[in-house]
Structure 1
Amino acid sequence: MLVLMEIWESIRDFVGTGGQVLYVVAIALFLMWVLMIERYWFLLAEFPRLTKDIVAKWDARQDTTSWYAHRIREAWISEASEKLDQRMLLIKTLVAICPLIGLLGTVTGMIAVFETMATQGTGNARLMASGISMATIPTMAGMVAALSGVFFSSRLEARARMVKAKLVDSMPHH
């Protein structure tokens, strides 16, 4: 319990140093990771069952060579592909938004620096340093969030392409 309180204190100090924009970065990061974990779960647990069902339906068909059979095959592959691609655009959007949210924090931090300079003058280096740190920390947090999202979302996309190709290969059209 003491460890959790210390972690919470350090997070609160970090947010205090970086400004309120860090909460928005954290929300975007949390949502992005929830969506990516859900997609990984779908790829590992749900899609293999869906693939097995589609292949079983295809193998059970008498006619696999006619034009009509090919359209049915394409429709089943398209439906499976659509299920694979669900939420991927939202994940990519969240990855792209994280650095922009960080830049918003930079702008608000620099506004704080300029307000300090306007009211206190340029002689108060301590207040200016706190504003500059408030400007740089959200940018760093947004970039770190985006980097983690870029790596894992690209891995997720590659895996989705691979399982889709396996599905197509497992439904031969003669």
Structure 2
Amino acid sequence: MSAGGVVMWALAGLCVLFWTLVIERFWYVRRVFPQWGRERRKAWQHLLQDDRGTWRRAVRAAWLAQARQQLLGPLRLSKTLVAMYPLLGLLGTVSGMVAVFDVLAINGAGNPRGMAAGVWQATLPTLAGMVLAITGLFSLARLERDARRALERLADQLRHE
């Protein structure tokens, strides 16, 4: 961590935050949302038994919009974090290159070890940012797919009969 500079600590903190959010979303989609959906299906059955319910379509649309917001809304923060990873990696690259130029300004080109440390400091956060972004993209794609499937299942179960 110290070889990558301060940017590596920022990436580590964002990584912990991101994976906490992802685990929470996986838990929500698999454990909490199905219970919410069962409650809506029971209420839907009661609405279907009521002849006078010409407003059923509006209730269904409102429930589906609420479900969409519950499933997909919290993913916006995770998407923002994934977009920040490469940018922070680039910041690490710039700060590492500044360290290389600092060594060059003080010692000239005669200190290859000092320059190598700066290059290492420049490449490590970039690599870390890209790895985090790639794994984040894959996990978000899986989360979105699962959320959309749960939403489609609920929409199918709340059909007009």
Same fold (TM over 0.5): yes
Query: Residues of 2 paired with 1:125 and 1:170: CA distance?
Result: 67
Q: Residues 78-133 of structure 1: CA distance to partner in whole angstroms, max 9, x if unpaired?
A: 11111112320000000110110011000000000001101110111110000000
Equivalent residue of 2:159, what SS? coil
Deviates more, 1:79-88 or 1:143-152: 79-88
Residue 89 of structure 1: aligned partner: 76
Q: CA deviation at 1:172?
A: 1.1
Change (3 A) 1:65 1:156: farther
Q: CA deviation at 1:31?
A: 0.6
- Say whether residues 1:71 and 2:38 are aligned partners: no
Q: Residues 53-92 of structure 1: CA distance to partner in whole angstroms, max 9, x if unpaired?
A: 0011001112479541100111111111111123200000
Equivalent residue of 2:110, what SS? coil
Query: Residues of 2 paired with 1:99 and 1:119: CA distance?
Result: 30
Instruction: Show structure 1 runs of 5+ residues with no match.
Output: 1-14
Equivalent residue of 1:122, what SS? helix
Equivalent residue of 2:55, what SS? helix
Query: Residues of 2 paired with 1:150 and 1:67: CA distance?
Result: 43
Q: Residues 15-70 of structure 1: CA distance to partner in whole angstroms, max 9, x if unpaired?
A: 12111110000011111100000000001110010000001100111247954110
Contact 1:65/1:173 (8 A) holds in 2: no
Question: Equivalent pairs: percent with the same residue?
Answer: 42
TM-score by length of 1: 0.88
Instruction: Show structure 2 runs of 5+ residues with no match.
Output: none
**Runs of 4+ with deviation above 4 angstroms:** 64-67
RMSD: 1.3
- Say whether residues 1:43 and 2:29 are aligned partners: yes
Q: Which amino acid aligns with 1:69?
A: R
- Say whether residues 1:56 and 2:42 are aligned partners: yes
Q: Which amino acid aligns with 2:118?
A: G
TM-score by length of 2: 0.95
